[in-house]
Amino acid sequence: MIRRLLSSASLLALPLLAAGIAHAEDGQAVYNTNCSVCHQAGGAGSPGQFPPLAGRIGKIAATAEGKTYIADVLLNGVHGTIEADGASYMGFMPSFKALTDDQLAVVLTYISALNTPGAPAFTADEIKAARAAPKKAKEILAERKALNDAHPLP
């Protein structure tokens, strides 16, 4: 009887596990289609041009304010000078607000997990909330500065 219950529970869990795997694959697919041209495969970045994402985004997203900032950057884009991983970058990142809340959530979850064990996942509801409060470039840079002042960003 116990064996049958465990077997049934395992069968019921398979779709959930498969959904988690598909979720990660979807995030990687969205990343490869929309982000890798600049930020390179696996979020390695391009020295002097595009900051690395791997090992950084998950750390920034460790706080609620950090998650909001990351979502704001993807939804609104950002331009200007930023410091990342000890280097200065002057560039322009376009808005990706044309992507759905689900697409943005899976790609941010994927990026967040790159070289950051235990990184937080993003939800479509979090993206929807950020989308409801659009920000201008100056506001996003101010948001970044406030985060950096509270605890230095990687």
What tokens appear for 5 in the block? 């219950």
pLDDT tens digit string along 79-97? 989 999 899 998 899 999 9
> Quick check: 101 pLDDT over 70?
yes
Structural domains of the chain, ranges and CATH numbers in brackets? 26-150 (1.10.760.10)
Location of structure tokens 């390695």: 44
Distances from the Cα of 33 to the Cα of 5, 36, 76, 81, 82, angstroms:
42, 7, 18, 25, 24
DSSP state of 127: H
> Half-sphere exposure of 32 toward its Cβ, with a 13 Å CA cutoff?
6
Share of the chain above pLDDT 70, in %: 84
Tell me the one-letter amino acid at 67: K
pLDDT tens digit string along 22-37? 465 799 999 999 999 9
Distances from the Cα of 80 to the Cα of 20, 55, 71, 89, 129, angstroms:
36, 22, 17, 8, 25
DSSP state of 121: P
| 109 close to 27: Cβ distance less than 8 angstroms | yes
pTM above 0.85, yes or no: no
What tokens appear for 150 in the block? 């509270």
Tell me the one-letter amino acid at 71: A
